[in-house]
Amino acid sequence: MSEEFLKVARAAREAAAELAPLPRAPKDRALRAIADALVAHAAEIVAANAEDVERARAEGTSEAMIDRLRLDEGRIAKIADAVREVADLPDPVGEVVRGSTLPNGLELRQLRVPLGVIGIIYEGRPNVTVDAAALCLKSGNAVLLRGSSSAYSSNTALVAVMQGALEGTEVPVGAIQLVPGRTRDSVKELLRARGLVDVLIPRGGASLINSVVEESTVPVIETGVGNCHVYVDAEADVDLAVKILVNAKAQRPSVCNAAETFLVHQDIADAFVPKALEALAEAGVTVHGDERIAAHGAGVVPATDDDFAAEYLSLDIAAAVVGSLEEAVEHIRRHGSGHTDAIVTRSQRAARRFVALVDSAAVAVNASTRFTDGGEFGFGAEIGISTQKLHARGPMGLPELTSTKWVYTGEGHLRTSEGTVVAG
Amino acid sequence: MSEEFLKVARAAREAAAELAPLPRAPKDRALRAIADALVAHAAEIVAANAEDVERARAEGTSEAMIDRLRLDEGRIAKIADAVREVADLPDPVGEVVRGSTLPNGLELRQLRVPLGVIGIIYEGRPNVTVDAAALCLKSGNAVLLRGSSSAYSSNTALVAVMQGALEGTEVPVGAIQLVPGRTRDSVKELLRARGLVDVLIPRGGASLINSVVEESTVPVIETGVGNCHVYVDAEADVDLAVKILVNAKAQRPSVCNAAETFLVHQDIADAFVPKALEALAEAGVTVHGDERIAAHGAGVVPATDDDFAAEYLSLDIAAAVVGSLEEAVEHIRRHGSGHTDAIVTRSQRAARRFVALVDSAAVAVNASTRFTDGGEFGFGAEIGISTQKLHARGPMGLPELTSTKWVYTGEGHLRTSEGTVVAG
C-alpha cells in the first residue's frame, strides 16, 4: 500500500478509537460546526467545484451530468441544512439492544457501538461526501471517502472545510478522510485494507458493486441496485394497479426504488394491460413486453431476458403475463435484485403469500415501490439501501452503521463444571 | 465449479426457498424425526465412524484427536438430545423486529426471515455436523456442510441419516447437504459460490478463518479466535482477581473464551503478581511474562510479542505489568482478537472506562471470560462466537442466523413530490 493511503487510513483508525466513546453532545456540536463552516467557506468550495466542472466539460461530459456535479451557494446551504438535520437525530451509540440478569446473577447488556472505520466508495454528486461524513460521525465512526474522480477537486475542498471545522471540537480531525489519488489504484488500496477498515459501502451501479465484492477482503455492504417489480394479481383493482404502476415507474425513474418490470396475472391481463399501456404511454414510458403484453397494444417493444434483468433507470419498463402468483414469484426470484417488489391485490391470501415467498429487502402491498427509502421509513437519513442479507437489509439509517458489544458484570463470577460460583 | 458441487448447492438453494416460509411446527417435527433417526441408525453411524478412526490411526493421529473423532452410541444419544433441545427453542423467523404506522398511513413491519443457504466450514468433531444442521433448519435455512476430511465417512453417514429422516416431513430433503469431496477443492468451490450461498461461517483456527476471508466472494462471518485478556486494575480486590484469573485461564484451557494474557496495573503488581504466580503454578499454568512479572517469582518464561499475540489454548499464559488502564487498553487493542476481555476492579469509574474503551465482542467486569458463550447467555444453543463487527458479534444463537425483510402495506399509496397520495 502507498504511504499516502496508509497515512490517512491509520489517522482514521486512531480517530475512530477516540471518537467511539464520545457521547452525543460533542458529536452534535461538531456536526453544527461543520454545517456552519460549509456555509462560511462556500466561495472556496464553489471555486474548487468550478475546476471539476471545467474538466468535465473539456472531457465532453453531458450537461445533465455536469448539472449533477455542479455546486453553488444555494446547494451548499442545502447540504449544510442536511448536516444540521443529522445533528438533530438520536444517537444510536449506547442504546441497550438487549439486557437481562442471568440466572447466576450476571448482569448482561448488549450495547450499540460504532463499527470503527467505514469506507465509502461512491459515484454520486459531491453532496454525498458531506452526507456520508455526517452520518458516520454521528454514529461514532471515522470515514474514508472515495468519491468519483470527476469530483476530486470538490471533494478535496469539502473534506478540507469539514476537517477545519473539527479543529475546535472534541471530535478528532482525522475522523473524516479523503482517500488520496484519483486513479483506480486508490480504490484497490481501500479494498485490501482489512484490519484498517471495518466495512466498505459501495454506492453506485452494478459494475462498481460487483467489482468491490469480488476484490475486497474488507467486509462489504452491497447497496442500491434495484430491479423492482410490480405484480398485478388476479384479484387486483385495475384502476388502482395502473396508478401504482405508473407511480412506481415514472414518478422518478432514475432512482433504485423505481419499478423496472411489471408482471400481470393472465386472468386480469385483458382488463389491465390496455389501460396500463395507455397510462404508461401518457407518462412517456416505453414498454418492453412479452407476446401476451404486445397483443394488447401497439408500440410494445419485444422483451428479451436482458430486459427482465435490466435496471433501466429510465422511462422504460419490461412486462410479462404470468400464469399464477407463484410464477410471478419465480420470475422475481430469477431476475430481481432483491430490492423492492410490490403486489397489487384485494386478496388477503394472495398478499400474505406474496409477502412470504418474495425474498427481497422490501415487499410492498398495494403501495408504490417508491416508498423503500430511509426518509419515508422515518429514519431521518440514509446511507444507502442494502440489497444483501447480512448485517443490514433495506434502507440503512444510523443504527445500521453500528455494531454491538456485550458487557457482563458480576462480583467474582467463576464458571465451574458444576455451574457458576461467586468468589466474592 | 464441479457438477457434483453445483448439484448439491442448487438443491440447497431450492430447498431454502421451500423451507423459508414454513412456520415452526413442521420444522420442529422434522428436528424430532432427525433425533429419532440418529438413535435408530446409531450402529450404521458408528460403523462409518470406525472407518475414519482407522484411517486416522493409520495416519499416526494422536489418541487425543482420535478421541475427539470417535462416536459411540452414548455420544450419538447426546447429539440426538441436543437436536431435541433445538426443537424446543423459539423460532426466530417471523418475529416483528420493528413496526409502526407511518404518518402517511402505510403499515411498516420489519420481519425476521431466514438467510437462505448457509455454508459451514469446520474442523471440529462430527457432532458439529448435526448441531449446525439443526440450528440452520430451525432458523429456516438450508445448509451446506463442509467438515474435516478426517471425519468424511462419519459426516456422510450422519447427513444420510438426517436426509432420510426428512423424507417423511414437510422440510425438503435438500435442506441438509454435505459438500462432496475430501480435497481442498471442495472448500474453494464453497468460497466462490456467490449467488448460491448467502453466508459462510468458518469454525476453526486462525489459519482456516484467514484463508476463507481472503478468498471468499461469499459474505463471511468470522468466528472463534480468542486471545482473551484479564486486566487487574489498581483498585482490584487481589484475592478475587487471582480467582477470576485462574478460572479464566485454567477451567477449560482449550476453548476460545479462555484467557491467554493477564495485564496488571503497576500500583498493585507487588500485591497481586506473587499470589497470581503461585495460584497459576498450582493450576499447572506456565507464565510467559515481561521482566516486571518475572521479578516476582521463579519459573516465569520471558515473553515475546508472539506470546502476547498467541491463542495458546493450553496451560500457558502471557503476562505484563502496565502503567495505566489506558496502557492495558492499548495492549489489548494491539494484540487482542476482539473476543472477550475482562477487568477486575472495585472502581466504578475504572470499570466504566474499560467497558467504553475496549473494542471487543464482550467485556467482562469482575467475572471470568469463560461466560462468553451462547449457553451461558441463555441462547439455548450457539453456532459459534463472532469476532467481527458486521451482522453478529459475540455468541451467535438462532436470531443471528436470520436476516430481515421490510413489509409495507397500503391501500393505493403513491409517492409524489408533494408527499403521499392515496389513490384508493
DSSP result, A76-107: HHHHHHHHHHHHHSPP-TT-EEEEEE-TTS-E
Residue type, B280: L
pLDDT of B294 strictly over 90: yes
pLDDT of A11 strictly over 80: yes
**Which residues make up the CATH 3.40.605.10 domain(s) of chain A?**
3-222+388-407
- Nearest-neighbour CA in chain B from A2: distance (Å): 20
Output the pLDDT for position B336.
95
CA pair distance A33, A176, nearest whole angstrom: 14
Three-state DSSP class for A414? strand
Sign of the alpha-carbon torsion through B143, B144, B148, B153: positive
Q: Do B408 and A364 touch (CB under 8 A)?
A: yes
The answer to whether B363 faces chain A, any CB pair under 8 Å, is: yes
- Nearest-neighbour CA in chain A from B207: distance (Å): 15
Q: Grid coordinates standing for A21?
A: 466513546
Mean of the per-residue pLDDT values for chain B?
95
| CA-closest candidate to residue B171, choices B60, B27, B386, B319 | B27
Strand B228-232 vs strand B340-344: parallel, antiparallel, or unpaired? parallel
pLDDT tens, position by position, A300-331: 999 999 999 999 999 999 999 999 999 999 99
Instruction: Cite the DSSP H helix spans in A147-282.
Output: 152-166, 184-191, 206-215, 238-250, 266-282
CB B122 within 8 A of CB B202: yes
Q: What are the strands, taking DSSP E only, across B220-300?
A: 228-232, 259-265, 286-289
Distance of CA A104 to the CA centre of its chain: 42
Output the pLDDT for position B229.
98
Instruction: Cite the DSSP H helix spans in B336-410.
Output: 348-357
Question: Using 50, 70 and 90 to split pLDDT, how confident is the model at A242?
Answer: very high
Output the pLDDT for position B129.
97
Q: Do A244 and B423 touch (CB under 8 A)?
A: yes
Query: How large a percentage of chain B has pLDDT more than 70?
Result: 100
CA distance readout (Å), B406 to A75, A374, B420: 32, 12, 19
Output the pLDDT for position B125.
86
**Which residues make up the CATH 3.40.309.10 domain(s) of chain A?**
228-371
Q: Do B113 and A413 touch (CB under 8 A)?
A: no
pLDDT tens, position by position, B114-142: 999 999 999 868 999 999 999 999 999 99
Output the pLDDT for position A125.
86
CB A154 within 8 A of CB A75: no
Nearest to A21 among B357, B367, B371 (CB): B357
The answer to whether B301 faces chain A, any CB pair under 8 Å, is: no
Output the pLDDT for position A224.
75
- Nearest-neighbour CA in chain B from A45: distance (Å): 29
User: Which whole number is the average pLDDT over B253-267?
Assistant: 96
Output the pLDDT for position A387.
92
CB B383 within 8 A of CB B392: no
Nearest to B413 among A194, A217, A367 (CB): A367
pLDDT of B253 strictly over 90: yes
The answer to whether B364 faces chain A, any CB pair under 8 Å, is: yes
Output the pLDDT for position A113.
98
Mean of the per-residue pLDDT values for chain A?
95
B228-371: CATH topology: Aldehyde Dehydrogenase; Chain A, domain 2 (3.40.309)
CA pair distance A134, A88, nearest whole angstrom: 11
Question: Using 50, 70 and 90 to split pLDDT, how confident is the model at A181?
Answer: confident
Question: Using 50, 70 and 90 to split pLDDT, how confident is the model at A205?
Answer: confident
What pTM was estimated for this model as a whole? Answer: 0.94
Output the pLDDT for position B20.
97
Architecture of domain A3-222+388-407: 3-Layer(aba) Sandwich (3.40)
Nearest to B368 among A219, A361, A414 (CB): A414
Strand B402-416 vs strand B107-114: parallel, antiparallel, or unpaired? antiparallel
Query: If phi over 0 gives left and psi between -120 and 50 gives alpha, with beta otherwise, what is residue A419?
Result: left
CB B120 within 8 A of CB B145: yes
Query: How large a percentage of chain A has pLDDT more than 70?
Result: 100
pLDDT tens, position by position, B379-415: 988 999 999 999 999 999 999 999 999 999 999 999 9
pLDDT tens, position by position, A115-166: 999 999 998 689 999 999 999 999 999 999 999 999 999 999 999 999 999 9
